[in-house]
Amino acid sequence: MPSRVLRFIKPEIRVLGVDDGKFVPHSKTQVLVVGVVFRGGFWLEGVMSTRVAVDGLDATAKLANMIMASPHYKQLRVVMLNGVTFGGFNVVDIKALNLEIELPVIVVTTRKPDLIKVHAALKNLPNWEERWSAILKAGEIFSVATQGTKQQVYVEIAGITKETSIELLRLTATRGKMPEPLRVAHLVASGISLYTT
């Protein structure tokens, strides 16, 4: 089914930011993934979580289940991810996630991904072709200045136009170049995982 269409962006739009916590690289463990719900770029309204396998293949399904099982799901209008990989190289297929949850997906990173290095690293893992395909399906990587000309982030999208995604990023980046839902998701996931890994 198609995504819920964003006809116009309200200042208090509900956005879910998702990031993973700290983990032991190349371990046969799971990493904590935290989602925080923000109303606009200022008000925290909810928290959700799941776990995905380090270097596994379950990130897309686990994120979809977490989002749709949340009591906040019906109010959400967009999902933001801090990168397309969680727990090392557990790659989120953002096109598949967009179709499953029927919400636009925006991927944000502070550094432009080096796809040559990523491709080489993936070849050390099983099912690397599947992981690489999901990365390529994420599409064009474009830069956005969220706060002034020097505050660039790098973005990939699914189920939303470039223009609308830029408007959303600028609306929610209230305390730095990263959107506030992602900044807080990172703080929560990192803080909790320090005591649980």
Radius of gyration in angstroms for the set of CA atoms belonging to the chain, rounded to a whole number: 16
Mean pLDDT to the nearest integer, 178-196: 87
∠ CA(117), CA(160), CA(163), 5° rounding?
Answer: 90
Average pLDDT in the chain: 92
The C-alpha atoms of residue 121 and residue 83 are separated, in whole angstroms, by 16
∠ CA(70), CA(33), CA(27), 5° rounding?
Answer: 145
Structure tokens, 153: 């982030």
Mean pLDDT to the nearest integer, 76-90: 97
Q: Where are the domains of the chain?
A: 14-193
pLDDT surpassing 70 at residue 1: no
pLDDT, one tens digit per residue, over 28-56 is 899 999 999 999 888 999 999 999 999 99
Structure tokens, 190: 């990192």
- Select from 124, 126, 64 the least CA-distant residue to 93: 64
pLDDT surpassing 90 at residue 4: no
The C-alpha atoms of residue 89 and residue 186 are separated, in whole angstroms, by 17
pTM metric for this prediction:
0.93
pLDDT, one tens digit per residue, over 99-120 is 999 999 999 999 999 999 999 9
- Select from 79, 112, 82, 121 the least CA-distant residue to 97: 79
pLDDT surpassing 90 at residue 83: yes
What is the reported pLDDT for 3? 54
Q: Which CATH architecture has domain 14-193?
A: 2-Layer Sandwich (3.30)
What is the reported pLDDT for 126? 95
pLDDT surpassing 70 at residue 14: yes
pLDDT, one tens digit per residue, over 129-184 is 999 999 999 999 999 998 766 779 999 999 999 999 999 999 999 998 999 999 99
Residue identified by tokens 């371990």 is 27
